[in-house]
Amino acid sequence: MEQHSDTFLDNASAALGNTAQAERRDVIAAFAPLIRSAAVEGFTEFDALRQHVKRVRQHSLDHLEYYLGQFEHEAVHNGNHVHFARDGDELNSLVLDICQQHDARHVAKGKSMVTEETGLNDFLQRAGLEVMETDLGEYIIQQAGETPSHIVAPALHKSAGEIRELFQAKHKLGDRELPETVDLVSEARQVLREHFLKAEVGIIGANALIAENGYSMLVTNEGNGDLCANLPRVLIVCTTIDRVLPLAQDATAMLRLLVRSATGQSQTCYTSFYSGPRRESDVDGPIETHFVLLDNKRSEILDSDYREMLECIRCGACLNHCPIYSAVGGHAYGWVYTGPMGSILTPLLTSLEQSHALPNACTSCGRCAEVCPADIPLPDLLRDLRHEENSKKLSAPRWRLGLKLHSWLTRHPPLYHALTSIVIPVLHWFGRKHGNFERLPLAAGWTSQRNFPAPEGKTFMQQYKAQQKRREQGKHER
Amino acid sequence: MNASARSEIFARLREITGEAPAERIQRERQALGSAPVPAPPAAELCQAFLTNVLKNKGTVDCVANRTEAVTAIGHHIYSHFRSHRLVAGNDPRLAAMPWRDAGVLPRFGSLEVGEPVALTFAQLGVVETGAIVTWTGKSNPAANNLLPEHHIVLVDTADLVSSMEHAWGRINLELEKTGRPRGINFIAGPSSTADIEGQLVYGAHGPRKWHVILMGDVPADALALARAAVPA
C-alpha cells in the first residue's frame, strides 16, 4: 500500500476540517470504549488472562524458530503447501504464481491486514485477475477506491448515505432505493454471493497458527472468510511468521482477549480452524491449500527493543481509546496500521524517516496501554521511537534545540529551581488581570488554539516545600 | 517453494532466539499452565449454555428426545417458511431420526441454491461462549453451516462442555481417533456485521437466523431462567 505518513500533520488538519466525519468519529469514540469495558468488567480474571497470554506469547517468540518449524511440519503433514516470503513482493509473487497455476480469473478475499501491507490486490489486478474483498467494510472501501480507516471496522468513516450512493453508482440497482442499512447489507450479500460461487481462489488471513496441529485460526462475524475458505477450489492463507502459538488452547485463550477487546463479544459468530485440503470422504472444500508466511521485518523487530510489538493481536482497542485517533481518524496515519499500534508498527515496517511524525501523534495519556489486551507498553515504545527520531536528527532543528535545552536544565535542579522561581512570579504578575494569556513568546503552538493559564504565583517545588513544612510543624504541635 | 527465503528466515530466527532442546521448550510451555476461564452465567450447564446462546442472538428450544426434536424442527420450518423441507448432512444420527412422525421431509446432502434451511447435528456445545462446534467430513458439508437463510442446530446435552479448553480436550480425542478434519467451526450466532455506521445487521453473508435446539435431560426451568437473564 502506498504510504502517506510523512504528511501526517497535513492529513490530520484536513481530517479535522471534515465536520461530518469528525462528528461520526466522536460518536464512535464515545461508544466503542463502553462496549469493551462492559465485556471486560463481566470477566473478573481478565487481567490474569492477559498476563497468562502474554507469558505464552513471550514464550512463543523466544522459541519462534522451533514453533515455526513445528507448524510447518504439521501443516505439510496435513496436506498443505507451505511457502515463506522475506518481503511483500515475494508474498505477492508467490500468490500470483499459485493463481496462475490454476488458471484463476476470480479471487475472493477475506479481510487480511497483511495483504493490505503488501498491496496484494493491486498486484493481482495488474496481472488481470478480478479480486473481490468480501468483508462488507473492505468491500465498501474497495468499491470506493479507499483504504481502511480502522483495522477492525475498515469503512466506519463512511455514512450509510455515502455507501448508498456508492452502490447506486457501482451496482445495477434499477429502481431499488436501498433505504435502510439492512437493505445495503442484503445488496452486498447478493453481489458477493455470486462472486463466491465463481471464484477459483480464496485468500484469507489468520489470527493465529497452531504449532501442535498445523491448523490456522480465523475469526469473523460475517462468515465471509469461511466462504472464501470453503467454496473456491484453491485456498491461500497469508499471514506473518510471528502468529505461531504452541497449542490449540493458546489460540482460544488469545481469542478470549481479542474478541472482548475488539467488539465486546465473548466469541465472534465464526471462529474457524482450517488444516488443509478436502479429505477423501469430504463432500466439499478446496482441493489444494497453501500457507504463505511473511517475514517483512518481523525478524528485525524480534531482534530489537520493540519485540513486544509482535505480541499485538490486532484488536483495535488502542485505536478506540486514543484521543488522537478519535480526533483525526485512521486515514491521517497514511498507511495500513493506525492509532497507537500503527504509530509504532509503521516506522518499524517501513522506515522512521518516512513516518517519524507518527510517534509524535501521542499525548502520553496512557489509555492505550491500560486497555491493550496484549499488555504492550505502547506509550513507552512511542517515546523510544521519538527518542530515536531525535538522535537520528529527523525532527525540526528548533525542536531538537528546545529538547536539548530542556534536558540540560532538568539535569541541573538548582538552576532549574532558580529560573522557575523567577519566571513563575513574573508570569503570575502579568497574567493577574485575566488569569490567562492569549499570546506568549515561544508558546504560539499552544496559544494559537487556546489560552495559556497564568501560574498561581509559586512554583510547584515552593508549594510542596511549604506544605511539607506545615506538616512538620503540625506534628510537633500534636 | 522458495527454498532460499525459507532457509534465510529460519537461519535469522535461530541466530536471534538461539537453539534449545525440544523437551525443554515443551516443559517450559507446560509450566505456563492453562488460561483462566470466565465464570458461567449460571451454575447449571444447560441453563448457562442457553443463556449464552440467547446472548449471541440465537433462538432456542429444549426437547427431551428425538421425537420431540423432529416435531420442534417441523414447527420451526413451517412457521417461517410454510414448508416441511430442509437439508441435512449425511449424519447417521440425523438419518436415524423419526422424521415421518412430524411430516418433515429432509434431503440428506449439501445445501443447494434456493434451499433456505439446513440442519446440523453439533459435535459439541460450548457453555462458556454459547457456541456450537462442528467439523467437516462426510456427514457435515460446510455449505450447510454457512449458506442457508436459517441454520438449525441440534445439540445433545451429553455433548455440552464447559469451556473452550474442554472443547479442545474432546476435539483432540477425535483427532487421534479419525485424523484431523479439514475444518473445525465454532459458530456463535447468526452471521452479523456492524460495518455500516456500527449498526448491527444479521445475515451479512450466512444465516440470518440461528436456531439452537438442546436435546436431552434439560432441567424444567432452565429455558425460562435463561430467557429471564437475557432481555430480548
Domains and CATH numbers, chain B: 38-229 (3.40.50.10420)
Range of the domain at A427: 412-477
At A233, the amino acid letter reads: R
Distance from B82 to chain A by nearest Cα, in Å? 22
Q: In chain A, which stretches have pLDDT less than 70?
A: 478
Taking alpha carbons only, the member of A241, A247, A349, A226 closest to residue A291 is A241
Record the cell numbers describing residue A320, joined without a space.
478506540
* Boundary-marking domain end, from A262, A280, A300: A300
| pLDDT tens digits, one per residue of A430-457 | 988 888 999 888 888 888 888 999 988 8
Q: Do A302 and B17 touch (CB under 8 A)?
A: yes
Tell whether A22 is covered by a domain.
no
**Maximum Cα–Cα distance across chain B:** 68
Q: How many CB atoms lie within 10 A of CB A24?
A: 18
Q: Do A186 and B203 touch (CB under 8 A)?
A: yes
Q: Do A181 and B197 touch (CB under 8 A)?
A: yes
Tell whether A169 is covered by a domain.
yes
Share of chain B above pLDDT 70, in %: 99
Strands (DSSP E) along B50-206, which ranges? 59-63, 85-88, 105-108, 117-121, 124-126, 131-135, 150-156, 160-161, 183-187, 192-193, 201-202
Residue B195: which pLDDT band, with cuts at 50, 70 and 90?
very high
Tell whether A80 is covered by a domain.
yes
Tell whether A142 is covered by a domain.
yes
Listed by number, the residues of chain A in 379-408 with a beta carbon closer than 8 Å to a beta carbon of chain B are: none
| pLDDT tens digits, one per residue of A401-436 | 999 999 999 999 999 999 999 999 999 999 888 889
* Boundary-marking domain end, from A300, A328, A359: A300
Listed by number, the residues of chain A in 277-296 with a beta carbon closer than 8 Å to a beta carbon of chain B are: 277-279, 281-285, 295
Number of domains in chain A: 2
Complex-level ipTM beyond the 0.95 threshold? yes
Q: Do A52 and B36 touch (CB under 8 A)?
A: yes
Question: B198 CB near a chain A CB, below 8 Å?
Answer: yes
**Residue written as cell 467454496?**
A231
Per-residue pLDDT at A94? 98
Per-residue pLDDT at A457? 83
Nearest CA in chain B to A230: B142
**Residue written as cell 499552544?**
A446
Tell whether A5 is covered by a domain.
no
Per-residue pLDDT at B2? 67
Distance from A422 to chain B by nearest Cα, in Å? 53
Taking alpha carbons only, the member of B98, B109, B89 closest to residue B70 is B98
Tell whether A89 is covered by a domain.
yes
**DSSP 3-state of B193:** strand
pLDDT at B31 over 70: yes
Nearest CA in chain B to A290: B1
- For residues A225 and A272, is the Cβ–Cβ distance under 8 A? yes
Average pLDDT over residues B179-202: 95
Burial B100-137 (b: 16+ CB within 10 A, else e): eebebebeeebbeeebbbbbbbbbbbbbbbbbbbbbbb
Distance from A142 to chain B by nearest Cα, in Å? 14
Listed by number, the residues of chain B in 153-182 with a beta carbon closer than 8 Å to a beta carbon of chain A are: 164-165, 167-168, 171-172, 175, 179-182
Name every chain B residue with its beta carbon within 8 A of the beta carbon of A153: 194-195, 198
- CATH number for position A85: 3.40.50.10420
- For residues B21 and B27, is the Cβ–Cβ distance under 8 A? no
Tell me how many degrees the CA angle A465-A407-A355 measures, rounded to the nearest 5.
130
| pLDDT tens digits, one per residue of B86-140 | 999 999 999 999 999 999 999 999 999 889 999 999 999 999 999 999 999 988 9
Tell whether A428 is covered by a domain.
yes
- For residues B138 and A282, is the Cβ–Cβ distance under 8 A? yes
Strand B160-161 relative to strand B124-126, pairing: parallel
* Boundary-marking domain end, from A246, A265, A300: A300
A392 CB-near residues (< 8 Å, 6+ apart) = A352, A353
Q: Do A271 and B186 touch (CB under 8 A)?
A: yes
Considering the domain architecture, whether residues A428 and A292 belong to the same structural domain is answered as no
- For residues B86 and B117, is the Cβ–Cβ distance under 8 A? yes
pLDDT at B206 over 90: yes
Average pLDDT over residues B48-62: 97
Q: Do B182 and A82 touch (CB under 8 A)?
A: no
Name every chain A residue with its beta carbon within 8 A of the beta carbon of B195: 135-137, 140, 153-156
3-state secondary structure string across B16-61: HHCCCCHHHHHHHHHHCCCCCCCCCCCCCHHHHHHHHHHHCCCEEE
Question: B143 CB near a chain A CB, below 8 Å?
Answer: yes
Per-residue pLDDT at B27? 97
Question: B203 CB near a chain A CB, below 8 Å?
Answer: yes
Nearest CA in chain B to A32: B198
Considering the domain architecture, whether residues A108 and A255 belong to the same structural domain is answered as yes
Question: B201 CB near a chain A CB, below 8 Å?
Answer: yes
Per-residue pLDDT at B1? 52
Closest Cβ–Cβ partner in B137, B168, B192 for A282: B137
